[in-house]
Amino acid sequence: MAETPAPSAKISVVEPADYERVAAYLAAYPGEKRAADVWRERFGLWWEGNPAFGGDVERGWVLRDGERVVGFLGNVPTWFQTPRGVVRGYTASTWRVDEPYRKKSVSLYLRQVANAREGILFNTTANENVKSVLEALSFSKLPPSRTGKNTFLALRFPLSLAQAPLLAWLALGAARAGGEVREVTRADSAFDTLWDSTRGLYPFTSVRSSQVLNWFCFSAPAFSKRLLGYYEDGRLLGYVACFSSDWRGYRVWECLDLWAVGGERRVAVTRALVRAAIAAAGRETFFVLPHFSADLADVYGPLGRAFAKPSVRRHYYKAGGDGVEAPREDAADQVYFSALEGDLAL
């Protein structure tokens, strides 16, 4: 019996006119729970509402067999700081290809690699098959923390069991901090002042301007976050951004980004923010507190060390040109990675 020839399909750049058809395709993809209208809102978050989108940045790529969508890869840009200046960071999201067309999967990803020139391409959700592709394309591993914990996910515990003693311990640090934590519904110029005064703490990290934080936290209702700021005498000294989601049937309250001043105030401010984030989570949930940098386990104190969960997950990046400086794998003390790099909660 003669072999059935592989179906043919062509790759094209995603345009706004494609949104309805691509959203319907993704909503109907096996195992997907998001409806088409949520996908349309997500496209607006990734692109039209994104301050890093523009110029020659491509939205993503769609694989078509005739008029039928059979594959998709989203391209989410962000602003990322390096010692040589601010560049675009790019994250692959929602890599979907129908089974008969899987041979085209790598071709989709190569389009993103080509589009990431003069920037840094991140992949934070690589499974074993994707890892082999990334390594073949000369991707490098992001530096792990010196404690061996995963940069993005290092702490889980049920609050119904641990909340009271943790809040009591953290309250001591909060009382010594001398300021107050309050919820913010819009990042204002105080966040720009904080970023301008602290951007030198880590050579490699995402830009945290008010424009970026308002986009990340508040620009799409289905993906909105809660933003808590720590203030002393009217001055913003740090913030934490949290997001609620489902994980294997449980409600998860995750710290997506935490940023604070350096120096002697850092420990008190950070612990006050962690306490406020835990209190905001409520009960009947899980709290996820990542180690965004190599030194945060010590800043968290007993909380970070006692409940830390090791992980073997690794995250990858690729610099898009010779003029783009990227972190070395052994330079954990120079990097601060959070959910601002990646498509978690976007």
Give, in degrees to the nearest 5, the angle at Cα 217 between 211 and 222: 135
pLDDT of 144 reads 60
Give the pTM: 0.88
Q: Taking phi first (over 0 means left), then psi (-120 to 50 degrees means alpha), and beta for anything else, what does residue 55 get?
A: left
Q: Which CATH number fits the domain that encloses residue 212?
A: 3.40.630.30
Q: Answer for the pair 219, 45: CB distance below 8 angstroms, yes or no.
A: yes
CA distance 28 to 93: 17
The domain of 113 spans: 10-141
Of 141, 169, 184, the one marking the end of a domain is 141
Which residues of the chain carry a pLDDT beneath 70? Answer: 1-6, 143-177, 283-285, 301-314, 322, 329
Instruction: Give the span between the Cα atoms of 249 and 258, in whole angstroms.
Output: 26
Q: Which helix (H) or strand (E) holds 74?
A: strand 68-82
pLDDT value for 168 = 55
195 and 235 fall within a common domain: yes
- Tell me the pairing of strands 60-65 and 10-13: antiparallel
Last residue in a domain, options 141, 173, 208: 141
Q: Round to whole Å and give the CA distance between 125 and 346.
A: 14
Domain membership flag for residue 343: no
The number of beta carbons lying within 10 Å of the beta carbon of residue 113 is 18
Give the pLDDT score at 133.
84
Which pLDDT score, from 0 to 100, does residue 306 have? 52
| Residue 302 confidence (pLDDT) | 60
What is the total count of domains within the chain? 2
Residue 131 in any domain: the answer is yes
Indicate whether 114 and 190 sit together in one domain.
no
